[in-house]
Amino acid sequence: MRNRREALKVIGGLVLSAKALAQMGHGEQGMASPTGPVPPKPIPWETGACAFCGMPIKTPEGAWRGRTFPKGFFEQTYAQIAFAAPRPAPHDPKETVEALHFESIACMVNYAWVHGLRDGEGATFYVTDRGGYDPARPQETVRLVPARSATYYWGEKMMVVMNAKLLAFASAKAAQEFAEKNKANHGRQRFYSFQTLWDLAPLPEMNLVALLARHAGLLGMDHSH
């Protein structure tokens, strides 16, 4: 645990330095807020990959990297950052994107943290409402809600993509009902606001140190992950 904390401290310092240099170089660029929320963009289920970890946003059919996942396992934690104006693509700065797609809530928060993106500053963050989600009809029942208004549920033993242990709900009541239903299986349980998640960033998940280092420019980007 000590090594992980030391690595995060070093990466955090490098990220903050990079953000300061970017602000000096770009002046006020990117600081203008839109007049209202940016509408969510279409979700590329068939071709989309997570902008932070590179995993598919759609649950793979059959075995994937030696594992088979239940239907709808990936889609339930889908998240999106929608931009007011196109931005350079993370995989190729010569291309532009209108939105970034993530297969984990933690992936979205960690990507935004390391790249200095903020909800309401030229972008709107969205998460999937797990309360209205049906794993039997995954893509059809993904309903995006603003990340800032959602209630987040953390279950110690809950299995979701990237082992992030987080789900989002459109209402606190729905999150509490889900927690009550699963308290025997999930161990310790917590509820968070989006502001709390942001304050806790970077959020724990699989390969966190390596992913943060890669996005901070300390390691080469490997999009085969």
User: Is the distance from CB of 191 to CB of 155 less than 8 angstroms?
Assistant: no
Low-confidence ranges of the chain (pLDDT < 70): 1-35, 219-225
| Of 174, 116, 182, residue with least CA distance to 145 | 174
- Tell me what pLDDT residue 92 has: 82
The identity of residue 164, as a single letter, is A
Cβ-based neighbour number of residue 35 at 10 Å: 5
- Tell me what pLDDT residue 21 has: 37
pTM for the predicted model, two decimal places: 0.85
- Tell me what pLDDT residue 103 has: 97
- Tell me what pLDDT residue 216 has: 86
User: Is the distance from CB of 86 to CB of 59 less than 8 angstroms?
Assistant: no
- Tell me what pLDDT residue 101 has: 98
- Tell me what pLDDT residue 218 has: 81
Domain segments of the chain as ranges = 2-146+208-215
- Tell me what pLDDT residue 91 has: 77
Round to whole Å and give the CA distance between 83 and 100. Answer: 8
- Tell me what pLDDT residue 57 has: 98
Cβ-based neighbour number of residue 218 at 10 Å: 13
pLDDT tens for residues 81-122? 999 999 998 878 889 999 999 999 999 999 999 999 999 999
